[in-house]
Amino acid sequence: MLNTLIVDDEKLVRKGLISTMPWGKYDIRIVGEAGNGRAALDFMQQHKVDLLFVDLTMPIMSGFELMQAVRAQHPKTWIVVLTCHQDFEYIQEAMRAGAIDYIVKTQLEKESMDNMLARIVQRIQFDETNTVAGTDISKTKTEDRPIYLLALMSTTKQLDPVSDLMKAGIFSVTPLGGQIWSIACTDDEIESSLSRYAAQSNDYVLIKVYGKPELSVVNIRTYLFYEYEPNRKVYELTMMPAKSADKQILDEPKLLDEVWFSFRWLYEEDEWQRLIALIEHTKPDSRYLSELLRISVRLWREMFRSGELDAYDLSPNRW
C-alpha cells in the first residue's frame, strides 16, 4: 500500500479528493491531510508517507517550498502536484522541483480519475524497477531538461495517445487541452521512447520547450501553424516569436482586414505577395485567419448567387 498525504489549503478540495478518488483500487491508502506545507512536514515526521499530493499555492509554506523540504528530508517520497494553473511555467517549475506528475484541479472529472491514478501508480512502479536496477530516476537531475509536449496536428481528430504511450513505457502524461499533452521525461530512456513514438506517428509531433517562454495552448497552436514543415516530427521552442513593433502594423488587425477585404490579392500578384508578407510578419492567430476566410466565402456567395460556392464546407472544424 502507498501511504498518501493530501496537502491543500482548501478543506473542501481535500475532502473532495479523499472521498471521490478510487484510492483502494490502486492500493493507495490516505493516511492524513494537511492545510499547509508546515503542517505536512510535521505530519511526515510522525508518519510514513510514500506519496504526497501537494497544492502549489498555500499560506505559511507554499507547495514549492514544501517540495524542496521533502526532497531534502524525505527523498524517497513521490510528489504529485495539485494546481489550478494550466500554466507551462508552473508545470515546468514543478517538474524540475521533483514532481512525478501534476493534476489541474479545474479539469478533474470522475471519468479521468482512474486514468490519473493508474498513470501515477505505473510511474511509481517504473521508478521502483529502475531503482532496483541501479538507476534512481527520482534523483535524476532535470534542470537542463525541457518540457516535452506532444501535439496532435489535426485539431478535428479525436485521438488520445495515453494508452499507446504507456505501452511504450511512458507513464506521466497529462492533457493540457487543445489536443496537446505534457510528458514528464526524467531520463534519457523515456526521452528516446517519446522521440521514437513521435517519429513513427502520422498524427503527432513532439515539441521541446526550453527555458520559460510565455506559453499557452493557443500560442503553441499558432506556433505550429506558422512553423509547420511536412514530415518534421520534432520542434524546439525557446521563446515565442516576437511580433514586430513596426509602426506600419501597430494596428495589425485593422490593416490585415483592409488588405484582405480589398480582395485585390485575388487578381493582383503584388497584393497577394503583400498579404502573405503581412501575415508572416504579424503572425495572427490561425483562428482569426479562418474567420476571415469564412466571412469571405459568405460574401462571395452573396455576390455569386448561382450556387457555384455551395459545395464549400463552411463549418468551423473544416478550417
The grid coordinates of residue 312 equal 464549400
What value does the mean pLDDT take over residues 118-139? 60
The 3-state DSSP class for residue 113 equals helix
Is the distance from CB of 147 to CB of 191 less than 8 angstroms?
Answer: no
- Over the stretch 143-189, which tens digit does the pLDDT of each residue have? 456 778 899 987 677 788 877 887 777 767 777 777 888 887 666 77
Arithmetic mean of pLDDT over the chain: 78
What value does the mean pLDDT take over residues 126-140? 48
The grid coordinates of residue 33 equal 491531510
pTM for this prediction = 0.52
- Over the stretch 221-280, which tens digit does the pLDDT of each residue have? 888 888 888 889 999 887 655 544 444 444 556 788 888 888 889 889 999 999 998 888
- Over the stretch 18-47, which tens digit does the pLDDT of each residue have? 998 899 999 999 999 999 999 999 999 999
Nearest to 34 by CA among 21, 15, 20: 15
β-bridge pairing 180-183 and 204-209: unpaired
Helix (H) or strand (E) holding 53: strand 51-55
Domains with residue ranges and CATH for the chain: 1-140 (3.40.50.2300), 144-240 (3.30.70), 247-318 (no CATH)
Is residue 4 pLDDT above 80, yes or no?
A: yes
What value does the mean pLDDT take over residues 76-86? 83
